[in-house]
Structure 1
Amino acid sequence: MDINKHLPKEWEEKWKAEKEQRKKMQAEGGEGLEAENRKLQWIKAYNSHRMGVKIFQALKDFKESLVLTDLTLSTADGRRLCTHSSVMAAVSTLLHRQVQQRDKEKNAQKEQSEADLSCPDGELCVSLGPEIEFAGLASVVEFAYTGTILGLTGQRVAQVQAAAHALEASRVLEVCSEKEEQQFKVEEVQRERKIERKLKESLQCIRQLWMEKLGCDVELEAEGQSFHHRVILAASSDYFRAMFTSGMRESHQPIITLLSLGSVELETLIDCSYSGTLPLGWDSVFQLTCTALQLQIQPALSLCLDFLHKEIDANSCLDVASFAEAYGMPALQELAEDFILRCFPEVAATPKFLDLPPEKLYDYSSSDSLCVPSELAVFRAIVAWIEANPKERLGLAKQLMTGVRFPLMTFREFREVRAINLRMECDGEKEVDLYGAALKEFGFGLSDSLQKCRVRHPKDTLLVVGGDQLDPDFGQRLPSRQLWFINSLRNRTGLVKEVEWRLLGEMPDSARFRHGLAVLGGQVYIAGGCDYYAKGDTLKSAYYDPVQNTWQRLADMHEFRSNFSLVVRGEKLYAMGGDKEINTNLATVECYCPDKNHWFAHPLDQASSGYAATVWEGEIFISGGFNCKYQCLVSMFLYHPERGTTYLSDMSQDRAEHCMEKLTCRLYVAGGVCNLRKFYTDQLFCESYDPMTDCWSSIPSLPIPHVGAASAVLEGKVYILGGYSQEDYSESALLHRYDPASLRWENMGRMPGPKTDIRACVLRLPPHLRS
C-alpha cells in the first residue's frame, strides 16, 4: 500500500529540503544550529481527555465483532468470552503474567524454529474455576472496555468480586467498594469524568505493556523497527484497521515496512494513541499532520488541527493557509485566511509575506474583509512585495495596485503614493505608471457609497445588553431593555472607522442596568442589576436567551445585587459581590449550575462592588473596585471557590467601575474612576497584567473617559464601549478599540441606545439574524 500517494509534491520537496538543511546544520554546527535548537525548544503538549473513551469504544466494537481478539476467557460451565489480551492485561495482574509467559514461549519457539502452541496464531486461552460465575466475569470484561460496571447491586457485587479476585483485578475491586457506584447516584457529568479517568488509566497500562514490548504482535518498520499492538493501531487508525481486518497480506505479516515514512513521526503519532498526548511545535506540526492524514490516525490528527487553530500567528498563518489548501481542508484554510485578513499589517511585516504568490496577494489586498488601519498600509505592503524582486514583479504592479482603494486615502497619505511611484519609475528597468491611474481613481472616487469602505463581517459578534442614560432629571432617564449587536466593521477614509449596529431584540419584563452578563454553551445569561433608581429596585432575577428570541426565567439568586460581574468558570456561572442597595455592598459569591437551575453561595474575603473580573486558565481574576467604604482599590487577586482568595501584585493605580479583559496571555485593564484626589475622578491610565510573572505594564491611556463602560474582546482586540465622564458627568457615546500589535486606541464610531452601565459579550449568532 502506497501511503504517500496523496502527498503534494511541493510539500514533499519542502520537507526533504528542510531535513537536509537540518542535517547540514548538525554537521557544521555554529549559529544556524543554535537558532534551530532555540526553535525546537518551543513545544506544547496537547492532550485529549476523550481519547481513552474513543479508543475503548472502538476496542469494544472489535470485541463484539470478534475482530483481532486473541484471548479467550471461559468459565466452568463452558461459556466463553473472546477478548483482547492487551486490554485485559491492563486490568488483570493474572492475565498480565499470562501475556508475559506467552511472549516468552513465542520467543523461545522463534529461536528454535518450532510452532507448538496450545492455541493457534499465538492466541491465549484462560479457564477459570467453578467458583467464578459467567456474570461476574462478564462484568470484569465490561469494566476493562468501558471503565464502569452497570447495575452493580445486590448479589451481582459478590459475583464480580469473586471474578476480580480470581483475575487479580484490583481496580475492579475498588469499584465494588465504592458506595457511589453501588448506589449509582453520581451526577451524570461526574460519572462521565470518572469513566474518562478510569479509561485513561487503562490506556496508560496498555502503553506500559507497549513500552515493555509485551503482547506486541506486529513490527512497523520505518527507518528502523518498533513493536506495536495490532488492535490499538486498528482502534486509532482507519488505515491500520483496513490493513489488519480486510484480509490483506499485511494482516498476517509479523513485520510491515512503511516506505518513505520517518520513524520519529510514526513513533510520536502511535505514542499519542497510547497516551492521549502529542508534543507539538511549529517545526513538527505540518509533518505530523501530514503523516496523521496519510495513516488516518484520527486522535492525533484532531490534536494537530487543534494546535493549528489555537497557535496560529502572524509568522505561521501563511504556511497554515498553504498547507490547508494543499490538503483540501476548507475549514482550516478559511480560519487561516481570515487570520491573514484581520491581522494583515502584522502578516505583511513577516519575511514569508514576500514569498506570497501574486494571485494570493491580490486576493487578500482586494478583499472587503481586509482589516487595516488605512489604505496606505495596503499600498505599502504591495510595494514591499514588489521591491523584494523588482525584476520579475514590477510588471505585476499595475494589476496589484487595483486592490488598493485610493479614494479612501487622505491627501497626506496620497503624497506617499506619489513619492513611491516616482521612485519605482526611476529605479526600475520598466516604467510603471502607478501614479496616473491612482490619481484618476483618487480624484474622482467611487460612485457607490458602500464601495467607499471595506466592510468586514466578523464571524463572532459583539452583543450589548441593557444600560442607562444620564440626565440630571431622574424622571427623564430611560433604562433599556434592548439588545444591540455589531454586524460589521467598516474602514472609511484615512483612519475613520465605524460599526454597523443592529437591534437583536428586547429583554422580558423590566429594563435593567449594572447587571451581570455571560455566555455559556452558546446561551446568553443575564442576572441581577437595577431596573430604576430607588432603594428597592435592585434585582436578583436571571434569564437566558437562546438567541431565538425566546426567553426562559431561571432561578433567582439568593441576593439582590447590582454593579457586579458574572463570569464563566468550567460549566458554571459565578456572581461575586456587588451592591445590594445604596451604600451597601456584598461579600458573597453565588455559583449557578445550569443542569440544576439553582445558585450556591460562597464567601468572598471582603465586601466589594464596581470591580472587574475575568477568567484565565480556569482561574477567576478580580481587579480594583470599591471596598465597604466605597474607596477605590488597587488590589488584584485570584478567587477560587474552594481555596478562597490569593492576593497578587497591586495595580499601579486604584480604580473602580472599570473594565478588564483577557487577550492571549495578558489581562488588560482600562477606564473607570479613581481616588486621585479626595473625590472621584476619571481614570484614563491603562495597564496590562501578565499572570505568568505577576507583573503589571503600562499601555497607552484612553483618549476619553469610560466610567461604567462595557468591554469585550473581538478578533484579537479589546473593545471599550460607552460609559461616562465622572468629572463633567457627560456620556461617552464612543467605542474605542485597543490593538496590542499597534499599541494604540482606535475610535470605532458611536454607540446605539443607552451609553452607561451597559454590559457586553461576544457570541456567534445564527446566520439568519445577520443576513
Structure 2
Amino acid sequence: MSALILWQLNTWILCWMNHYKLQQVLCVVPTFKFHRVLLAASSDYFRAMFTSGMKESQQLCVNLPFLEASELEALISCTYSGSIQLNWGCVFEISCTALQLQFQHILSMCLSFLEKEMNAHSCLDVASFAEAYGMQELLETANKFVLRHFQNVATTPKFQDLPANKLRKYLKSNSLLVTSELVVFKAVAVWIEACPSKRLRFAKELMKSIFFPLMTDNEFKEVKTAKLWTQCNTKRLYQTILEDFHSYYIAPRTLCRVYQPKDSLVLVGGDQISADLSRQNPSRELWFGNSLKSYIGLVKNVEWRLLTEMPNPPRLSHDVAVLAEKLYVVGGQDYSGRLNVLKSVYRYDPIQNSWERLADLQEKRCNFSIVVFEGMLYAIGGDSDPETNLKSVESYCMNTDSWSFARPLDMTLSCHAATVLDGKIFISGGYHQRYRCLTSMFTYHPERGTIYLADMRQPRAYHCMETLHGHLYVAGGITLDEDKTSIDQLTCEVYDPVTDTWSAFTNLPIPHVGAASVVLEGMFYVLGGYFKDNYRETRLVHRYDPMLQFWENMGVMPGPNTDIRACLIHLPNHLRKCQNI
C-alpha cells in the first residue's frame, strides 16, 4: 500500500481506531496495543518496517527495547488524537524519539514548541539540542535568542555550564545586545567563578571581548570590586584591564561596541529643504542601518549604508510598507518645477535586488498613510493636490496586482498617522480640510467603518505613531498654539487600548516634523524631519527607550531628512556585507 493510500485511510478510520485502541488487533509493541496501518501512516520508520518485507511485518509482537514506554505512549496518543501535551520536562525526549522513529508531524509540533516557548532558562538547552541533531534553523533561532536576551540568560544556572568556545563565540558576535559593557564583564566573571580552577586560564582571552574604555567611572568601580580579583594569578590581568579602561583619554573614535540587528532599518526617498524651490530635488536613495554602534560614554549612532535607488521619479510625502518580505513604495510627490502628486507604485525585492512597477493607485495621493492589514495594503486618505484632502481608502491585492476602493473614512484626512495593533487599524491626528488640525484617534475597518476613541491631549499632524509593547506611541509633528498658529510639537503621548486613555511620556529634545519612524529591537526611532518655526532641517535620529524612559541621540541622517519614510525589512547577508558608504 502506498504512502498516499495510507494517509487517506488514516483520515476516515481515525475515529474508529480510537474506539478500538485497546483491542489486540494487528501489531503489539511493549505494553501497548496498536493498529499497524495507523502506525505506518504516521511514521516513516514503521512504514518501512511493515511494508518492506521485514520480518516484523509478519510478527504479532515487536520488541522496541531502545524506547522509553512513556515517550512511545505520548507518540501513540498523539497519533490517535492529533494533539500532544508538551512541557519543558518532556519535550526534548519526545523530540528525540519522534526524530528517531520519523514521526514527522509530531517532530514539527515539538520544534514549534521549542521555538515559541523558548525563554532565558531554556534557550541554551535548545541550542545544545539543535546542535547535537544538526537542526540548523532551530540552532540559529536559539543562538539569536541568547544574543538578544544575553543579560537575562547570563543569570541562569545553564549559562555557567557553557563550554568556553561557545561563550567566546557569543561574546564576539555582532548580534550581542547589551545595555553596557558591565553586563558583559559580569557574565564573564560569573562564568569563571563557577569553576575557577579550570576557567581562569580563559580569563585573559575572554576579557578581550569587553570594551572597558566604554564604561563609565561608576561602572568600572563595580569591575574593581569584583570577587574575581580575589583569585590567585589575577592581579596582573586586573592591572591590564585598568590600563585599558584609562585608555579612553586617547582611545580612537573607532573604538565601539557594534550590534547588528536581525532586521534592517531602511530609509526611502525624502527631500532636503532649500530656500530656492528651483533647486528642490527629492531623493531616489534607499539607505539602511547595517549596525548600531556604542562609543565612549553615551555616544551612539547608526552605521548607514546605501542600499539601492528606486526607479524614477524621485519622491517625497509618499509612504512605504513591507508585505511578504518585499518593500512597497506608494504614491507621494515629485518635483519638476512644481510639486506633482503621484499614483505610481513600485515593489523592491531584496533577495533579487530588483524593482518591479505595479498597478497605479486609483487616485493620486500624498501625505497619506499605508498599513498592512489581513494580507493586503491599505492606502488611507491623503492629498490629491495641494488644495484637496481625500477621504477615500484603497486596498491592494498581490494576487491580482490591483487597487480597489474600500469603505471611505468619515471625513477627509491628510498628514495623519496610522498603524495596526491587535488586528485593528488605528488612525491619529492629521488635517481635516486644509487647516484644521485634529486631536482624534479612531479605528478603521474596511467593511465596518470607524469607531472613535479617546482624543489625544493636543491636536497633532505630520507626526509619527508606532506600536510598542501593546501601546501606541505618538511623537513629533506640529500642533496649534492659542492663536491657532502651527508650532512645533515636542510633547509625546502614549495610548493604552485596554483603558482607552492617553498619558504623556518624555518630550522630544528637538522638533521632528514630517519625520520617519520605526520600532527596532523594542525602541521607538524618530528620524529626521524639520523645525516648523524656521524650516530648518532636523538631521538627527532619536531613539526612545521605554524601559529607561528617555530619548537618546543616535547620530545623523545619511542623506535626505524631510518627508522621508522608513520601514524594517530583512536583508540578505550579501547586501549587508558590502563596503561602507
Q: Distance in 2 between matches of 1:559 and 1:500?
A: 37
Supply the distance in 1 between the matched residues of 2:467 and 2:506 (Cα, whole angstroms): 17
How far apart are the structure 1 equivalents of 2:449 and 2:471? 22
Q: Given residue 529 of structure 2, which amino acid in structure 1 is its aligned partner?
A: G
Q: Distance in 2 between matches of 1:405 and 1:654?
A: 45
User: Is contact 2:473–2:495 with CA below 8 Å preserved after alignment?
Assistant: yes
Mapped contact 1:666–1:691 kept (Cα < 8 A): yes
1:657 aligned onto 2:462: yes
Matched, 1:641 2:452: no
**Could you tell me how far apart the structure 2 residues matched to 1:647 and 1:275 are?**
45
Task: From 602, 626, 651, give the equivalent of 2:406.
Answer: 602
Counting only pairs closer than 5 Å after superposition, residues 664-679 of structure 1 correspond to structure 2 as 665-675=470-480, 677=482, 678-679=484-485
In structure 2, C-alpha distance between the alignment counterparts of 1:567 and 1:681, rounded to whole Å: 28
Q: Distance in 2 between matches of 1:310 and 1:707?
A: 39
The letter for the 2-side match of 1:510 is P
Q: Which moved more, 1:628-637 or 1:316-325?
A: 628-637
Q: CA deviation at 1:444?
A: 5.2
| Residue 138 (structure 2) aligned to one of 324, 332, 340 | 332
| Secondary structure, aligned partner of 1:752 | coil
Provide the rounded CA distance (Å) in 2 between the counterparts of 1:624 and 1:281.
Answer: 46
1:593 matched to 2:400? The reply is no
Matched with 2:44 is: 238
What letter is aligned with 2:302? Answer: V
Q: Does residue 508 in structure 1 map to residue 311 in structure 2?
A: yes
Change (3 A) 1:617 1:499: same
For residue 591 of structure 1, what is the amino acid of its counterpart? S
For 1:447 and 1:231, locate their aligned partners in 2 and report how far apart those are by CA, in whole Å: 75
Aligned residue identity for 2:49 = M
In the alignment, does 2:268 pair up with 1:465? Answer: yes
Q: Which runs of 5+ in 1 are unaligned?
A: 1-58, 70-83, 91-205
- Greater fraction helix: 1
Aligned to 2:525, the other structure's residue is in SS state strand
Do the aligned residues in 2 keep the contact of 1:213 with 1:227 (CA within 8 Å)? Answer: no
Looking at structure 1, the residues matched to 451 and 120 of structure 2 have their Cα atoms a distance apart, in angstroms, of 35
Cα pair 2:174 2:260 within 8 Å, conserved: no
Tell me the secondary structure at the aligned position of residue 341 of structure 2. coil
CA contact (8 A) 2:21 2:33 kept: no
> Could you tell me whether the CA contact under 8 Å between 1:86 and 1:215 is conserved in 2?
no
Per the TM alignment, residue 436 of structure 1 is displaced from its structure 2 partner at its CA by 0.7
Letter of the aligned partner of 2:290 in structure 1?
N
Post-superposition Cα deviations, 1:637-663, rounded to whole Å, max 9, x if no partner, equal 333323333445555555332323345
Return the offset for 1:380: 3.1
Per-residue CA distance 1:537-565 (angstroms, 9 max, x = gap): 11111111224454332221111111122
- What secondary structure is seen at the aligned counterpart in 1 of 2:168? helix
**1:62 match:** 4
Note if contact 1:516-1:528 (Cα within 8 Å) is conserved in structure 2.
yes
Map 1:141-180 to 2 at 5 A: none
Equivalent in the alignment of 1:309: 115
Tell me which amino acid in the other structure corresponds to 1:324.
A
3-state SS of 1:637 partner: strand
Cα 1:644–1:438 shift into 2, 3 Å: same
The CA deviation at 1:341 is: 2.3
Q: Is the 8 A contact 1:484 1:505 kept in 2?
A: yes
TM-score by length of 2: 0.84
Matched, 1:521 2:324: yes
- Among residues 559, 567, 572, which one is paired with 2:371 in the alignment? 567
1:558 match: 362
Aligned residues: 573
Deviations 1:608-654 (A, max 9, x none): 22232233454433333333465444444333323333445555555
**Secondary structure of 2:333's partner?**
coil
Q: Could you tell me the TM-score, scaled by structure 1's length?
A: 0.65
* Amino acid paired to 1:488: S
What letter corresponds to residue 420 of structure 1 in structure 2? T
Q: Which residue of 1 aligns with 2:417?
A: 612
Task: Evaluate the alpha carbon distance shift between residue 660 and residue 502 of structure 1 in structure 2; reply closer, same or farther with a 3 A threshold.
Answer: same
Q: Distance in 2 between matches of 1:700 and 1:384?
A: 36
The one-letter amino acid paired with 1:514 is: S
- Give 1:591 deviation, angstroms: 0.8
1:354 positional shift: 4.4
The structure with the larger Rg is 1
Q: Distance in 2 between matches of 1:450 and 1:263?
A: 62
Of the three residues 152, 171, 184, the one matched with 1:365 is 171
Contact in 2 for aligned 1:374/1:493 (Cα 8 Å): no
CA contact (8 A) 1:374 1:495 kept: no
Does 1:748 find its partner at 2:551? no
Counterpart for residue 705 of structure 1: 511
Structure 2 distance, partners of 1:733, 1:269, is: 60
Q: Is the 8 A contact 1:535 1:581 kept in 2?
A: no
Task: Quote how far apart the aligned CAs of 1:664 are.
Answer: 5.8
SS at match of 1:552: strand
**How do residues 294-443 of structure 1 correspond to structure 2 at under 5 angstroms?**
294-350=100-156, 352-386=158-192, 397-410=203-216, 413-417=219-223, 419-420=224-225, 424-425=228-229, 427-428=230-231, 432-443=235-246
Is 1:770 the equivalent of 2:571?
Answer: no
8 A contact 1:375–1:494 mirrored in 2: no
Q: Distance in 2 between matches of 1:270 and 1:626?
A: 62
Distance in 1, matches of 2:81 and 2:193, equals 49
8 Å CA contact 1:608–1:628 kept in 2: the answer is yes
* Maintained 8 Å contact 2:343/2:362: yes
Residue 625 of structure 1 corresponds to 430
Cross-structure match for 1:213: 20
| C-alpha separation in 1, matches of 2:313 and 2:346 | 12
- Identity rate of aligned residues, in percent? 53
Q: CA RMSD in A?
A: 3.8
Match of residue 22 from structure 1: none
Q: Which amino acid aligns with 1:552?
A: E
Following the alignment from structure 2 to structure 1, what is the Cα–Cα distance between the partners of residues 493 and 161?
A: 37
1:506 Cα shift? 1.9
Aligned-pair distance for 1:723? Answer: 1.8
| 8 Å CA contact 1:590, 1:602 repeated in 2 | yes
Shift of 1:513: 1.0
